[in-house]
């Protein structure tokens, strides 16, 4: 059986957040199964860290028995992202071009996407959590047929973005 890749923007045993706790508890539970899996994430420490700064070094880690592969975060245009995000946070609609800016200028890792593309055959599926980050959007685009979304949806402006609706309708499962 091939392994499962859990893809998330950041991962750690001590970082707060609902999606972060959901993934942490899930992979800790899976330790008692024969499944082979690992977490693919960026080198960013957490949601409230600088998304342009690699806190961790590139490489493989083991955290409480969980295999974690960390990849450098791409440099981003924070001002462009902040302009679009401010509109979304106020519940205002944004254009298709602004949606693309939001996705492209948030947290991403080209090296992680390259790894996923090059090692696709080693994985039976990739589980993406949560829905609204570049790591999920661009990761799902690589192979929607192997993509399972653990979205952690909220009724918020991001949820209504057309780019998310179109892509996530193509995933293998939710």
Confidence of residue 25 (pLDDT cuts 50, 70, 90): very high
Report whether pLDDT(169) > 90: yes
**pLDDT for 154:** 85
| Nearest of 83, 104, 105, 106 to residue 94 by alpha carbon | 83
pLDDT (tens digit, 9 = 90+) per residue, 127-151? Answer: 999 999 999 999 999 999 999 999 9
Rounded CA separation 168/69 (Å): 24
In which residue are the tokens 């693919």 written?
A: 40
Rounded CA separation 120/123 (Å): 6
Report whether pLDDT(8) > 90: yes
Percent of the chain with pLDDT over 70: 100
**pLDDT for 139:** 97
Residues in the chain: 174
Average pLDDT, the chain: 96
* Long-range CB contact pairs, 87-95, < 8 A, 24+: 88/157, 88/158, 88/161, 89/157, 91/157, 92/157, 94/161
Backbone angles phi, psi at 70, to 5 degrees: -110, 140
pTM of the entire predicted model: 0.96
pLDDT (tens digit, 9 = 90+) per residue, 49-75? Answer: 999 999 999 999 999 999 999 999 999
**pLDDT for 109:** 98
- Other Cβ atoms within 10 Å of 130 Cβ, number: 22
**pLDDT for 155:** 86
Percent of the chain with pLDDT over 90: 95
Residue 60 pairs in a beta bridge with: 69
**pLDDT for 40:** 98
What are the structure tokens assigned to 173, written together? Answer: 């499962």
pLDDT (tens digit, 9 = 90+) per residue, 89-120? Answer: 999 999 999 999 999 999 999 999 999 999 99
**pLDDT for 120:** 97
Rounded CA separation 122/101 (Å): 32
DSSP string, 96-110: HHHHHHHHHTSS--H
């Amino acid at each position: 059986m091939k392994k499962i890749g859990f893809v998330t923007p950041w991962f750690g045993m001590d970082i707060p957040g609902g999606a972060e706790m959901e993934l942490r508890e899930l992979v800790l539970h899976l330790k008692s199964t024969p499944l082979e899996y690992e977490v693919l994430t960026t080198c960013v420490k957490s949601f409230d860290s600088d998304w342009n700064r690699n806190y961790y070094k590139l490489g493989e880690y083991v955290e409480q028995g969980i295999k974690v592969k960390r990849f450098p975060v791409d440099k981003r245009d924070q001002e462009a992202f902040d302009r679009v995000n401010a509109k979304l946070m106020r519940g205002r609609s944004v254009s298709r071009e602004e949606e693309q800016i939001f996705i492209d200028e948030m947290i991403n890792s080209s090296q992680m996407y390259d790894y996923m593309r090059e090692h696709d055959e080693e994985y039976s599926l990739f589980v993406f959590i949560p829905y609204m980050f570049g790591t999920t959007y661009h990761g799902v685009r690589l192979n929607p047929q192997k993509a399972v979304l653990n979205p952690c949806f909220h009724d918020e402006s991001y949820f209504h973005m057309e780019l998310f609706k179109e892509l996530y309708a193509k995933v293998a499962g939710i």
